[in-house]
Amino acid sequence: MAIDAARLGEVQETLLIPLYGRAVETGKSRPILRDPKAVEMVRAIDYDFGRFDGGRSLFGTVLRTSIIDAWVLDFLERHPDGTVVEIGAGLNTRFERVDNGRLHWVDLDLPDAMALRSEFFAESDRRRMLAASVLDDSWIEPVKTLPGPYFFISEGVLVYLEEAQVRRALTLIAENFRGADLAMDTTGRWMIDHQDNHDALGKVSARMRWACDDPAEVEGWAPGWRLLASGDLSRLPARMRDRMPLPQRIGLRAASLIFRQRFGHYRLNHYRA
């Protein structure tokens, strides 16, 4: 029986875009990411995924996911027993890709998205699934019961909030998890203004709200964050470059130069509280 995706709210519906991107990538002869679970979920969910076919952003979501995977793996090399918190987990399969057999993991998402996630995933002794908004404080104490240090991930999540809400979310993290790392994407004003023409977002109702032209501005927000790294999707971590074919790397870099405006207004950032 197909699982109906109609239960998802407008913003939560966007989780289906990166899911489909990973499924499409898995079907390629030389994928940069293999995710058979994504293929299984796409087949099981009643949704018109074909609306996203042909768009460059599907591969963009795979790049984004792979870059953050690399950052998480770097973190786990230093802190193999640490805790990773995926804000707006959606139907991501990052735990399956990076699990070292020792880490602790928290999937955090709104109740409707978590209900859909529960159709495919289950908790374990090292993995918890929390149905809550990152803007509430109900998730903080359950996460604090897990060992630090902590690595928080916001992938395609906070960009849909107003700036005041983003500030609150980052304040909750920084005040309760000093020294925590955060991987977060930011979107510039140009992309906000042109998102109706986006090859994927133009097909859904949700709209990005928070415009951030300079990721370093977050450093000035109380109680304070430090920007460790920031780059567009062509800036690949070393462990990712090693497994991407040279022609693909060259093509990606060329695209970043040709479509400089689009690339430059979307960035992946690594912060520390």
99-111 pLDDT tens trace: 999 999 999 999 9
E-assigned strand segments in the chain: 3-4, 45-46, 83-87, 104-109, 127-131, 150-154, 181-187, 226-231, 266-272
Note the pLDDT of residue 237: 75
Percent of the chain with pLDDT over 70: 92
Q: Tens digit of pLDDT for each residue in 241-259?
A: 777 766 666 666 655 555 5
Please give the model's pTM, rounded to 2 decimal places: 0.92
Q: Over 70: is that where the pLDDT of 190 sits?
A: yes
Render pLDDT for 131-174 as a digit per residue (tens, 0 to 9): 999 999 999 999 999 999 999 999 999 999 999 999 999 999 99
Q: What is the pLDDT of residue 73?
A: 96
Residue 80: asked if its preceding bond is cis (omega within 30°), the reply is: no
> In terms of C-beta distances under 8 Å and separation of at least 24 residues, what long-range contacts does 5-8 make, across chains too?
5/45, 5/46, 5/47, 5/116, 6/46, 7/112, 7/115, 7/116, 8/112, 8/113, 8/116
Compute the average pLDDT of residues 66-73.
95
Spans of all domains in the chain: 3-272
Residue 238 CA to residue 229 CA, distance in Å, equals 14
Q: For the segment 196-253, what is each residue's pLDDT rounded down to a tens digit?
A: 988 898 999 999 999 999 999 999 997 889 999 998 887 777 777 777 766 666 666 6
The per-residue pLDDT of the chain, averaged, comes to 91
pLDDT given for residue 265 in this prediction = 81
For residue 240, the model assigns a pLDDT of 74
135, two tokens: 């803007």
Taking domain 3-272, whether its CATH number is 3.40.190.10 is answered by no
DSSP string, 127-140: EEEEES-TTSSTTH
The per-residue pLDDT for 91 is: 97
